[in-house]
Structure 1
Amino acid sequence: MTKRVFVYEYLSGGGWSDYGDDSAADELLPLGLSMRDAMVADLVRAADCSVSAAVCEPGNTLPRGVVPVRARTNESAFDFVARQSVLHDLVWLVAPETGGLLARFQRIVGNARWLGCSAEAIELTAGKKATLAHLAAHGVQTPLAFANAPEIARWVVKPDDGAGGVATHVHARHADALEDQALRTHAGATLTLEPWIDGEALSVSLLCTAQNAEMLSINRQSISIDATGRLSFDGVHVDAAGHGDPRWRPLAALAAQVAHAVPGLHGFAGIDLVWHPQRGPVVIEVNPRVTCAYVGLSAALGRNLAAELLAGRQHGGSAHEQELARADA
């Protein structure tokens, strides 16, 4: 039976006008478009699937056969998603955690149609400071373990529920970081201040079911810091380290540890981390949704991750897990 799937990426679907931060929206919109198009492209190749996708930008980059849908005049993003969700069997949605956006969308769509993490998992991981404290309590190494380390030379101030590298600044003096935090907090921002962890910036991509959190790939993140300390996210190299890399096993174990600590991670999720030269992986944040590392990942792995996500939703395990189980039988 053909499944009707609605793909909604918040900014490219029209949410940029409601986001409240034009510079952040401008920075994140190209990333959102690339994620939307990658998700749609995989779904188009999946069997027994018809696809609709939200659009608002001039022109239409969607593949042939995908139905573009637009919000009505003055219709809020939440009302638009609610209206479309009842017209479809499943909803695959990407939105920032900022301001509780992603969790609110999950509750609007409801568990029956939602392709992704639970509202509880989204809310748990939305706040960076609370996430780190929660993970640390479950034995996961985070920047909190470096709070009093003498080798720490820089500190980072960033939105507590932000996305990408938006409004993130790195300081060479702790006093400067405290001043930055105080000034921006006074202006109404909710921020977190952490030790800056030196090492290789990585992420891992996961495909999560109730039974398993499979680590799909280790990805290398490209991050730059300008002369003023402003951090920029410049892209990601997906599947940058294969199974033969000595970091694969410890990172797969870390992914399982994080998934155990955060019940409700379902579908695609990501973990941002730094590989410290002496102390190994340090988790920076958990992303309970599709991330930029999804773009090109199906091709890199030779797997259709969207098809596996649909199969996992229907049968209680990813298609890859089912294939492995059959091979072991």
Structure 2
Amino acid sequence: METMRLFICEFITGGGMQDVDLPPALAREGDIMLSALLSDLLDAGFDNIICTRDPRLEKINGNIEIIKPGKNVWQTWQRCMEDSAAVWLIAPETSNVLYELTCMAQASGGLLLGSNSAAVELTTSKSNTIQYLITNNIPAVPILHDIDNFSPNKTGWVIKPDDGVGAEGCYLFNDISALQRHINYLNSKNYIVQEYIPGIPASISMLCLQGQTRVLACNEQLFKFENGKGHLSGVVVNGLRVYHQELEMIARDIAGVIDGLTGYVGVDLIMAEQGPVVVEINPRLTTAYAGLGSSLGRNPAEMIMKLMQNARFPDFHQVKYQPVTVRF
């Protein structure tokens, strides 16, 4: 199976934004994930890999076949999917990009190395995800509605895009009138407001299959608000292993209630005083992936490929769980 043709579709660096200015932070994070994944796949013996590449970026190292994006990169991606045995998507949920690519990959008939379209559709919207989790008795940060009736609080309010990625567009306001002015400035309904929950920014890296899960890493997110604007500078992979029992429990609950979560899934949380509360679910690779190999002492791409090809979880013997810092 090692000679199977793989199409790795990284949206940001693969031409998805070739007609606009590349956001430096997103391009950097995309390249961090892509480089780590390609290196792991090559090390695992998968040597028939194709990618597209934004011509403004540096060439990819390694024995990778690069396909030019062309004028219509979506048509190029479709041809790549149809020409491959398996497709691995790395794309933002923003504007339904990940959902549309997932639908395209499913229609291509190859092996989709990730969550199905139903799971992606749900988790694309933070508000829908949060409501679904709360309905299923999984602790999550509630979405607030009707700003005119907000109750005063001592911590403030966080506002961000409903389908955003990373820290893009994430702001903290302690004053309700300033929050209202920001909402008016946005001139859009594509946002959510939540009460700011003090605690440790955290994430889970997990493998999912048919309602079951295995946790790869309990991570500390290097996230903070600077002058009211959210800033994510990195992640300490398995930096919060001390909380693994609580995080493994919530990971099992999530995998059990969201049908179609498959392969690598990331979950962002806050380790609050009352325990972990979910912020969002990412049904795709997250930047924590880049530190997994060093943290686990195992090849994470090989583990994921075995999961997808054999429809069973790989063994976790001799896994190290060492803390590893990834800076963006």
TM-score, normalisation: structure 1: 0.88
Could you tell me which amino acid in structure 2 is paired with residue 173 of structure 1?
A: D
Deviation at 1:203, TM superposition (A): 0.4
- 3-state SS of the aligned residue for 1:3? coil
Deviation at 1:59, TM superposition (A): 5.9
Is residue 2:253 matched to residue 1:251?
A: no
Query: Residues of 2 paired with 1:159 and 1:151: CA distance?
Result: 22
Query: Residues of 2 paired with 1:142 and 1:179: CA distance?
Result: 27
Within a 5 Å distance, the mapping from 1:122-201 to structure 2 comes to 122-144=120-142, 152-184=154-186, 186=187, 188=188, 190-201=190-201
CA deviations on 1:252-307 (whole Å, 9 max, x unpaired) are: 0000111112111101110000101x201010000010001101212210111111
Which residue does 1:312 correspond to in 2?
307
Aligned with 1:302 (options 287, 297, 300): 297
Query: Residues of 2 paired with 1:169 and 1:30: CA distance?
Result: 21
Query: Residues of 1 paired with 2:144 and 2:192: CA distance?
Result: 15
Is residue 2:102 matched to residue 1:118?
A: no
Could you tell me which amino acid in structure 2 is paired with residue 274 of structure 1?
A: I
Which residue does 1:270 correspond to in 2?
266
Q: Structure 1 residues 198, 59: CA separation in 2 closer, same or farther (over 3 Å shift)?
A: closer
Which residue does 2:326 correspond to in 1?
none
Query: Residues of 2 paired with 1:59 and 1:176: CA distance?
Result: 39
TM-score, normalisation: structure 2: 0.88
Q: Structure 1 residues 318, 181: CA separation in 2 closer, same or farther (over 3 Å shift)?
A: same
Which sits farther off after the overlay, 192-201 or 231-240?
231-240
Query: Residues of 1 paired with 2:53 and 2:244: CA distance?
Result: 38
Within a 5 Å distance, the mapping from 1:1-329 to structure 2 comes to 1=1, 2-17=3-18, 22=21, 25-58=23-56, 60-72=58-70, 74-75=71-72, 77-110=73-106, 112-144=110-142, 152-184=154-186, 186=187, 188=188, 190-210=190-210, 212-227=212-227, 229-242=228-241, 245=242, 247-276=243-272, 278-320=273-315
Could you tell me which amino acid in structure 2 is paired with residue 209 of structure 1?
A: L
- Structure 2: gaps of 5 or more residues: 319-328
Q: Structure 1 residues 308, 181: CA separation in 2 closer, same or farther (over 3 Å shift)?
A: same
Could you tell me which amino acid in structure 2 is paired with residue 158 of structure 1?
A: K
Contact between 1:157 and 1:180, CA under 8 Å: does it hold in 2?
Answer: no
Contact between 1:181 and 1:193, CA under 8 Å: does it hold in 2?
Answer: no
Which sits farther off after the overlay, 294-303 or 199-208?
294-303
Alignment RMSD (CA, Å): 2.2
Query: Residues of 1 paired with 2:189 and 2:27: CA distance?
Result: 21
Could you tell me which amino acid in structure 1 is paired with residue 251 of structure 2?
A: A
Could you tell me which amino acid in structure 1 is paired with residue 252 of structure 2?
A: A
- Structure 1: gaps of 5 or more residues: 325-329
Aligned residue pairs: how many? 311
Could you tell me which amino acid in structure 2 is paired with residue 297 of structure 1?
A: L
Give the fraction of aligned pairs with identical amino acids, expressed as a percent. 27
Contact between 2:144 and 2:193, CA under 8 Å: does it hold in 1?
Answer: no
Contact between 2:157 and 2:172, CA under 8 Å: does it hold in 1?
Answer: yes
Deviation at 1:55, TM superposition (A): 1.5
Could you tell me which amino acid in structure 1 is paired with residue 28 of structure 2?
A: P
Query: Residues of 1 paired with 2:129 and 2:211: CA distance?
Result: 23
Query: Residues of 2 paired with 1:26 and 1:173: CA distance?
Result: 30
Deviation at 1:212, TM superposition (A): 2.2
- 3-state SS of the aligned residue for 2:252? helix
Query: Residues of 2 paired with 1:181 and 1:151: CA distance?
Result: 19
